[in-house]
Structure 1
Amino acid sequence: MTFLALLIFSLILFRTLPIALLPPIDVPQIVIKVDYPNTSPESIEQNVLRPIREGMVTLDGLEDMESEAGSEVGSVRLTFDYRTQMELAYVAVNEKIDRLTNSLPNDLSRPRVVRINTNDIPIARLQVIPREGVDFADVSLLTENVIKKRLEQLDGVALVDINGRQDRVISVSPNKPLLAGLGMTESDLIRAIEAGNSELPGISVEDGQFRYYLRLASRLETPEDIRNLPVRGPSGNTVTLGKVAEVRHDLAKPTGFHLFQGREGLVVTVHKQTAARMNEIMPLVYEALELFKKDYPQVDFALTQDQSTLLNAGIRNLQTSLLFGGLFAFGILFVFMGNYRTPIIIGISLPASLVIGFAVFYFAGISINVISLSGLALGLGMLIDNAIIVLDNISRKRKEGLPLFEACVNGVNEVMSALISSVLTTLAVFVPLVFLSGIAGALFYDQAVSVAAILSVSLLVAFVLLPLLYYLFFKNESGQRSNEDSRVFLLLLAGYKKVYRLLFANRRWSLAILLLLIPVLLATVRLLEVEGLPPIEKFDSMVSIDWNEPINATQNKERILDLLDEEEGAYEWAESDVGLRQFLLHEGNNAIQQADLFLMFENAAQKEEVNARILRRLQGQFPQAAIEIQDAPNAFDQLFSSDRPFFELRWKDLASKRPVPVAKMDPWLASFPVSGWAKGPGLQKGASVVFRTHMEKLALYGLEGQQLVEKIQQLFGNYLITDIKRFGEITPILLVYEALDFQTLLRTNFLYGEEGTPYALDEFIAVSYDEHYKYVTADRSGIYQSLAFDTQLTEQEENRVRDWVTDKNLSADFGGQYFKDRETIRQLVGILLVSVLLLYFILAAQFENFLQPLIVIFTLPLGVGGAFLLLWLSGTSLNVMSAIGLVVMLGIMVNDAILKIDTINRLSKQYLGDKKGPGEALEMALYKAGEIRLKPIVMTSVTTILALLPVVFSAGLGADLQRPLVVSVIGGLTIGTFTALYFVPLAYWFLGSKAK
């Protein structure tokens, strides 16, 4: 009844566990984003980003700081130590931004501070596409004010973000000939609109005993109000503004678009709360989608990039493992033990252990996610192993003639210390990985807790529930069970004895050959490809394009639409973000000439064909464009991928503290002593137009330089006159000119002298074309430029590069992901050494012997080598999932080796007590222990391998993700079973005899 109550309690707790794709990792990064329209990268760097960097250097725990200034946008990425409390760091960054406000330009909107978290990855994207004839601005308002808020009201939704929104503006286009005829200028229009839209700054008046707030009733609200404004000229004549200018509602000049299926629209990204269950949120989102379709028929809706598919794949794999594990465990136990009750006991204990394990999740604050589920997969193998060992030992005790109750008690007591040691050794191998720096250590925390939970529960079940169930199932059976061995097992036992005698007849040669196998098997790791995640067969692609041309957002959109038209019918659906993104949580580069195109295909062959065709077409039509085609990123890619180049050379011009000029840099790069490099962001170039002012002419005609600057701003800068504010909605009023080339605009627009004499702008401006850097990159020590390499430079190449840097009077250093990976490997080696030491001392305490633990430790490389061999033969890479499989396999191998050595030790003492000689006692103990442990070792390995085997032949995202894990386990256990059966007694004979 106690276990039943615990199960019910655990089920209740399970219902409250958050379900997410990934654990809520506190990523130690904060991004400060800046939007500064009509501003060059150099200006943003000098006036905005540099003061921000200087203000952030004193932050506690700050490890690295990078900034990148682009056209109209900029960002500063702050990276902290993993021990930093990011909640406090986020507050500290915002406080420093507030203090820096007076140091930043007055017309700059407050920089946004974005904290990076795994929950920043949207769980789905909702496409909102206006139908033909529907006003886009109305749909933008609908999305912002209604759809966004309805999604935010769903349980578990933390944030809803929007891209593609287009806002209304009021355009004022002056009639220049008419203005000139009336002796007026655009400045007169501007003054009239500003005066008509004035507001009082909180003035109150008294009337007797009463006090009232005073407001002006002449505020502008509609274009008609603006048209009716009186405009007074210099000679005193007055005319309504509508007669000298066209006033109309317009859409703001676009800086970016969102496209779905070639149609312009909006995209709404949905982000979940940390504690929310993704499998409960997504049905709510789909329900909301159906309601939107009914309530707003003027708009088409679609849901794309549903990230819950990855989580569902992990859950399906766990269900598959449980189902096949249970079925195969039942079948193997039935074949080996010849009764149906023992398999039923296993079938009850497995789900019971899992449910109780989820209760540990609750108290440890762990969510159900792909990482913790992989930890459960690791623990389930050990769970089956422990269950088989305990049940087999109880059955053996009954065969020896003990009553049922005593068989249950003695059978558990005999293996209790060995099972506890095996769990501790598994944790000793795995838990230290939590102390890896970076995101790897953060991810291993969830996995370590889930492993510790299921292993702890497995001991509780093995020591309490299993003997209880065995007693209940067999208590009505009369008499003692003389033999529970089936024919299959007896045939297996006969074969084992033959091989055992053969090996022990040549024991020295046998041991030497097995030891020589260790380096041979481990050497296969050099044949394996190393990567982060296993290659998953995906039917989607992302085409990232930087046109490297000074095109506007509209031209960018037209190029994407042309590309989609040429490939029409070759894909299922297409989604594209063109130009500047409006997402609050967007981290990447934000440039008008960039575009990201997402494509979904029916199959992999179609995907490869279309990707190749797109690449050829773009390279042929736009040779200067930078094109990257890769799988569409999912949550794993965004978490594990790094923007840092593999190997990087950075240099700074400490004399000027500015980027090396383009004219000087081009010949320098032409003489660079090493090939195979790519330009970093700070070296990418773009075209620009340079206005050079003739100040002498301005002075000669009695004009001020500021007049010229203001006129240029009016002509080319989307000049903001004022804003109409109503009910939380802000509508800008812009001064707009006819869309002409700038040479014509300079020729047909004028400055006016003191007597009203007009002077064409082109008299004071010389126009030239130039190249400039598209981005200005900097770190905490200042502006830098860089080259990226795909491979590590040799020592000779590094020396030649250093000579090149010295010759140019630059300060330079090397960096990149290579050095970060090397540091991680050093940490991993150190942690594994600590794990091996922990393993050794735990086993030394268990065996009360300093040599016998070496037997267990020497079994590990044999299992790892077997896993490497099968990975190579199957063409599988060494990746995160195959590494997890190695840990799963080693846990089972260690378990088998420990129990076998424990049995040998116990039998040796027993035979020595029977007056046998040391040599004879050792020989008899080795032989008998092999017979006793044969059944649980073979049953555990065969059950685990058969339970995992269906994944190898399955298709789909989940199977692709889990297949490397399965191959590692099968390869390691195949060699590991042979190791436990034969290597352990051979090594024990060699080391154990010396210990005696």
Structure 2
Amino acid sequence: SKAIQSNNITLGALSVVDGLYRYNIHFDSQLLNREDIENVYINHEGRLVQLKDLCRVEEKLASRVGLVRHDGKNAVTMAVIKQNDAQMEDLQKSIGALVEDLRKEYPDISFDLTRDQTRLLTYSIDNLGQNLYVGAVLACLVLFLFMKDWRLPLLIIITIPLTLIVTLLSFHLLGISLNIISLSGLILGVGMIVDNSIIVIDNVMQRWRQGMPLADALVKGTNEVFTPMLSSVLTTCSVFVPLIFLSGIAGALFYDQAMGVTIALFASLFVAVLVIPVYFMVLYRKRKTCPEGEVLDRKFHFNFYTPYECGVKWVLRNPVKSVTAFCLAIPAIFLIYKGLEKERLPYMEHNDALMKIDWNAGISVEENDARVGDVLKQVDGMVQTSTAMVGVQDFVLSHTEDLTTSEAVVYFQAEDGETLRQAQEKMRNYMAERYPRGTVEFGVSGNIFDLIFSNDDADLEIRLQRQGGGRPDVHEARAFLDTLSRRFPEIAVQPVVSERNIQYVADTEQMAVYHVSYAALQARLRMLVSQNEVYAINEGARSLPVIIGERGMDSRRLLQYTVRNDEGVDIPLSYLIRETQGEDFKRLYSGNGGDYYPVKITANDRTVESIVDFTERFVKADPRYSASFTGNYYSSRKMIGELVLVLSVAVALLYFILAAQFESIVQPLVILSEIVIDVFWVFLVLWLLGESLNIMSMIGIVVMSGIIINDSILKVDTMNRLRREGMPLVTAIWRGGHSRLRPIVMTSLTTILAILPFLSRGDMGSALQYPLSLTLIVGMVAGTLVSLFFIPLVYYLIYRKRG
């Protein structure tokens, strides 16, 4: 070792002067290849010999510790990660061009693009955009259905492009990009941006129909509804403000959604107040009378108002039944809430997945590769493509967790979600039957949505510890898992991941007797196991290590060798080292409470609660152990708790805004009372459909709370105005309901139909939008009925003694 290092020298340049000239002198003695090392001279007991006379110098392939196979073929994998300031479209074009160039330059090598998240995002955004157009068209159809004159729907329809132009311009000025979150804000807004125009036009038409000149009808009709419209926009936007203060990345992302809705609604308000009256005047300035004649009004009255009148009469005549149903809805909300499955993320259909395998045995990478191949053979015909990373991976910037030679990560893609589930079950059963000591875990392939919102936590993670701190040993952990498996046979409990190892314990007393230092002992052991790297020969981008060691060393013969002590005497290693064998955990885990062993479990809420109860009783019965709990079961409840707080803050903001508008502390309670009924129906539908309560459905409830009260604000404001004009209470309720029936139904239908196309789960964007859309649609349907029938009842009960 010393001879090789002393002959591998590179000195800096020396400078000498010869008359008028200066010369640089280089002194190099580098070992650049195998022949250079063989020709190194050594003075051995007075004799000058070369290294090749004493040992064999070989250049051979290093032992392989990892490999990659794509569809069974040897491969090299590369991960391309987009920077924050890069455009996704530019990345797509660049990657496509790069792959084509590589295929042309290296025709003998196959280049495949897998796990393309840009394609998924592009498809999701395109699909959301298409649904946005469909929703806008459906909203326009509602306008033509209710308004027979073609000019009226045209007036309202022009609100959509004008509002979207202002919104997109504001996005550009504020630096908000078009993404899944901001698009969902526009989706929520597209059904509402026509609401203000509908209200303005309907009120203008009522004034014009009463005989008022067109110019006066435009001014008075717009002024009358401006205040309740402004209040409606403020209440809708106010519910988004608390969403921005959600913890973590969710709060930062929903800033885009909040800004999308807020800008769209304020833009639609200004368009309805400033632009629509102008175009109304342009289209109808030649007409002297209202285009909606008495025949049309009677026809609409006969078809539409009759069931409404019957409903209002029944509610006013049966107040006890209605109020009792309202009171029962409050405890029902809490009962259904407890029965709802709670999770952090909505369910998303996947046709690809990641499988992590740990064979839980000290096997070579070649054996690992063969076993992974056997597992994938079980799903031939079910899996379209697969990429297996077997053993240690040498990424410059790793995007996966570190693997050992006995571990593997496999990405595979199936035709659809059902085929994927069948393939996972088949591979899991094969592993359990053929390799019961191995562990296999399946997870999502890591799309952008999962990477942002999700984490690697299991539904439940039990952190098992010894009482007072420290982790249990392997046998104790295995005994607990066996007990858990017998108690809950329906769940998959992964076996303890451990490794057997050989321990060499140095005898310090013997080392002192034979004058052997730790440094000498370590150096000899490193050489015997061929880990004594002297230096590396660099050839361009390749680095070739030079190692001094024994060839084909077997651990059973290791202690038969000797080590030279300080006095030059060879001492047998068996005199100095004692060999033991043991079993230990492959990975060590530690937290604030000290070291622990994690038990990760995938199960539904009820099973998780049962497991937690069982574990608490287990550690209570055995004082040697203690346990703590974490996982998605707890993080999802934390997120739901935050959103419940957000809903509470939103309702408080709504109350203060309404109190300022109506100058009353009672009337806001009349309007906000409908939120209770709407939340009950949303919870009930979610429970009946088997949907979970997650971040998106809860945000849907928060947003719904700001939208559904808009109709009630308009109705209560109209009833207040009629009572101020001297109209009796019942007459004001009756006339207010009649005059606002059509705009309430129209605005509700436009909002519902604009969201209706998103009741699908065909891609990531739609899966993200589905629970929010479902919540909004159910809430809007219930809210419309409550606004039409229940709000007049509450208004009547509060003011009946005042006349």
Query: Which of 733, 739, 748 is residue 546 of structure 2 equivalent to?
Result: 733
SS in 2 for 1:868: helix
Residue 194 of structure 1 corresponds to 5
Query: Which of 548, 565, 582 is residue 360 of structure 2 equivalent to?
Result: 548
For the residues of structure 2 that align with 1:695 and 1:711, how far apart are their CA atoms? Answer: 16
> Is 2:786 the counterpart of 1:971?
no
The answer to whether the Cα contact below 8 Å between 1:326 and 1:346 also exists between their aligned partners in 2 is: no
CA apart distance, 1:614: 0.6
> Is 2:752 the counterpart of 1:940?
no
The answer to whether the Cα contact below 8 Å between 2:66 and 2:393 also exists between their aligned partners in 1 is: yes
SS in 2 for 1:732: strand
CA apart distance, 1:585: 4.4
CA apart distance, 1:608: 2.4
Residues 474-483 or 283-292, more deviating: 474-483
The answer to whether the Cα contact below 8 Å between 1:718 and 1:736 also exists between their aligned partners in 2 is: yes
Relative to structure 1, is the Cα distance of residues 574 and 994 closer, same or farther in structure 2, using a 3 angstrom cutoff? farther
For the residues of structure 2 that align with 1:546 and 1:954, how far apart are their CA atoms? Answer: 33
Residue 719 of structure 1 corresponds to 532
After TM superposition, the structure 1 = structure 2 runs for residues 790-809 of structure 1, keeping only pairs within 5 Å, are 791-792=608-609, 803=620, 807-808=623-624
The C-alpha deviation readout for 1:737-779, integer Å capped at 9, x for no partner, is: 43353224554x5545789876665565443321123223233
> Is 2:193 the counterpart of 1:383?
yes
SS in 2 for 1:396: helix
SS in 1 for 2:59: strand
CA apart distance, 1:337: 0.8
Query: Which of 749, 765, 788 is residue 981 of structure 1 equivalent to?
Result: 788
CA apart distance, 1:801: 6.0
Relative to structure 1, is the Cα distance of residues 993 and 795 closer, same or farther in structure 2, using a 3 angstrom cutoff? farther
Residue 312 of structure 2 corresponds to 500
Residue 424 of structure 1 corresponds to 234
Residue 743 of structure 1 corresponds to 556
Relative to structure 1, is the Cα distance of residues 802 and 660 closer, same or farther in structure 2, using a 3 angstrom cutoff? closer
For the residues of structure 2 that align with 1:304 and 1:289, how far apart are their CA atoms? Answer: 12
Relative to structure 1, is the Cα distance of residues 393 and 259 closer, same or farther in structure 2, using a 3 angstrom cutoff? farther
For the residues of structure 2 that align with 1:338 and 1:210, how far apart are their CA atoms? Answer: 103
The C-alpha deviation readout for 1:339-358, integer Å capped at 9, x for no partner, is: 22232333332133223212
Residue 698 of structure 2 corresponds to 883
CA apart distance, 1:215: 4.7
Report the identity percentage. 33
The answer to whether the Cα contact below 8 Å between 1:691 and 1:766 also exists between their aligned partners in 2 is: yes
> Is 2:263 the counterpart of 1:449?
no
Query: Which of 243, 263, 272 is residue 73 of structure 2 equivalent to?
Result: 263
For the residues of structure 2 that align with 1:629 and 1:644, how far apart are their CA atoms? Answer: 13
SS in 1 for 2:436: coil
For the residues of structure 1 that align with 2:549 and 2:165, how far apart are their CA atoms? Answer: 67
The C-alpha deviation readout for 1:126-177, integer Å capped at 9, x for no partner, is: xxxxxxxxxxxxxxxxxxxxxxxxxxxxxxxxxxxxxxxxxxxxxxxxxxxx
Query: Which of 347, 365, 368 is residue 178 of structure 2 equivalent to?
Result: 368
Question: How many residue pairs align between the two structures?
Answer: 792
Q: Given residue 539 of structure 1, which amino acid in structure 2 is its aligned partner?
A: N
Residue 57 of structure 2 corresponds to 246
> Is 2:52 the counterpart of 1:237?
no
Residue 853 of structure 1 corresponds to 668
> Is 2:202 the counterpart of 1:398?
no
CA apart distance, 1:799: 6.9
The answer to whether the Cα contact below 8 Å between 2:342 and 2:637 also exists between their aligned partners in 1 is: no
For the residues of structure 1 that align with 2:53 and 2:447, how far apart are their CA atoms? Answer: 53
SS in 2 for 1:303: coil
CA apart distance, 1:523: 4.6
Relative to structure 1, is the Cα distance of residues 360 and 893 closer, same or farther in structure 2, using a 3 angstrom cutoff? same
Relative to structure 1, is the Cα distance of residues 571 and 682 closer, same or farther in structure 2, using a 3 angstrom cutoff? closer
After TM superposition, the structure 1 = structure 2 runs for residues 195-344 of structure 1, keeping only pairs within 5 Å, are 195-200=6-11, 202=12, 204-207=14-17, 215-239=26-50, 241=52, 244-248=55-59, 250=61, 252-344=62-154
For the residues of structure 2 that align with 1:420 and 1:298, how far apart are their CA atoms? Answer: 67
CA apart distance, 1:616: 1.0
After TM superposition, the structure 1 = structure 2 runs for residues 672-687 of structure 1, keeping only pairs within 5 Å, are 684-687=497-500
Relative to structure 1, is the Cα distance of residues 404 and 555 closer, same or farther in structure 2, using a 3 angstrom cutoff? farther
For the residues of structure 2 that align with 1:896 and 1:248, how far apart are their CA atoms? Answer: 83
The answer to whether the Cα contact below 8 Å between 1:682 and 1:786 also exists between their aligned partners in 2 is: no
The answer for unaligned runs of 5 or more in structure 1 is 1-189
After TM superposition, the structure 1 = structure 2 runs for residues 621-700 of structure 1, keeping only pairs within 5 Å, are 621-644=434-457, 646=460, 648-649=462-463, 651=465, 684-693=497-506
The answer to whether the Cα contact below 8 Å between 2:135 and 2:757 also exists between their aligned partners in 1 is: no
CA apart distance, 1:420: 1.3
Residue 835 of structure 1 corresponds to 650
The C-alpha deviation readout for 1:638-685, integer Å capped at 9, x for no partner, is: 33333445354464776xx86555578778999999976999999853
RMSD between superposed Cα atoms in Å: 3.7
The answer to whether the Cα contact below 8 Å between 1:335 and 1:486 also exists between their aligned partners in 2 is: no
Query: Which of 408, 412, 418 is residue 605 of structure 1 equivalent to?
Result: 418
Structure with higher RCO (Cα < 8 A, 6+ apart): 2
Relative to structure 1, is the Cα distance of residues 886 and 779 closer, same or farther in structure 2, using a 3 angstrom cutoff? closer
For the residues of structure 1 that align with 2:420 and 2:480, how far apart are their CA atoms? Answer: 41
Relative to structure 1, is the Cα distance of residues 753 and 480 closer, same or farther in structure 2, using a 3 angstrom cutoff? closer
The answer to whether the Cα contact below 8 Å between 2:471 and 2:597 also exists between their aligned partners in 1 is: yes
The answer to whether the Cα contact below 8 Å between 1:539 and 1:603 also exists between their aligned partners in 2 is: yes
Residue 773 of structure 1 corresponds to 585
Relative to structure 1, is the Cα distance of residues 960 and 829 closer, same or farther in structure 2, using a 3 angstrom cutoff? closer
For the residues of structure 2 that align with 1:214 and 1:674, how far apart are their CA atoms? Answer: 79
CA apart distance, 1:481: 2.5
The answer to whether the Cα contact below 8 Å between 2:464 and 2:627 also exists between their aligned partners in 1 is: yes
The answer to whether the Cα contact below 8 Å between 2:344 and 2:636 also exists between their aligned partners in 1 is: no
The answer to whether the Cα contact below 8 Å between 2:671 and 2:709 also exists between their aligned partners in 1 is: yes
Q: Given residue 832 of structure 1, which amino acid in structure 2 is its aligned partner?
A: L
Relative to structure 1, is the Cα distance of residues 421 and 294 closer, same or farther in structure 2, using a 3 angstrom cutoff? same
CA apart distance, 1:600: 0.7
The C-alpha deviation readout for 1:213-266, integer Å capped at 9, x for no partner, is: 76533223334433444455344231253983233253x433332221112222
The answer to whether the Cα contact below 8 Å between 2:191 and 2:752 also exists between their aligned partners in 1 is: no
Relative to structure 1, is the Cα distance of residues 498 and 299 closer, same or farther in structure 2, using a 3 angstrom cutoff? same
The C-alpha deviation readout for 1:55-106, integer Å capped at 9, x for no partner, is: xxxxxxxxxxxxxxxxxxxxxxxxxxxxxxxxxxxxxxxxxxxxxxxxxxxx
Residue 354 of structure 1 corresponds to 164
Residue 464 of structure 1 corresponds to 274
CA apart distance, 1:499: 2.4
For the residues of structure 2 that align with 1:658 and 1:717, how far apart are their CA atoms? Answer: 35
The answer to whether the Cα contact below 8 Å between 2:358 and 2:407 also exists between their aligned partners in 1 is: yes
For the residues of structure 2 that align with 1:814 and 1:392, how far apart are their CA atoms? Answer: 58
After TM superposition, the structure 1 = structure 2 runs for residues 473-484 of structure 1, keeping only pairs within 5 Å, are 473-477=283-287, 479-483=289-293
> Is 2:739 the counterpart of 1:909?
no
The answer for unaligned runs of 5 or more in structure 2 is none
For the residues of structure 2 that align with 1:700 and 1:389, how far apart are their CA atoms? Answer: 100
For the residues of structure 2 that align with 1:771 and 1:212, how far apart are their CA atoms? Answer: 65
Relative to structure 1, is the Cα distance of residues 640 and 478 closer, same or farther in structure 2, using a 3 angstrom cutoff? same
CA apart distance, 1:599: 1.2
After TM superposition, the structure 1 = structure 2 runs for residues 144-163 of structure 1, keeping only pairs within 5 Å, are none
SS in 2 for 1:629: strand
For the residues of structure 1 that align with 2:48 and 2:214, how far apart are their CA atoms? Answer: 115
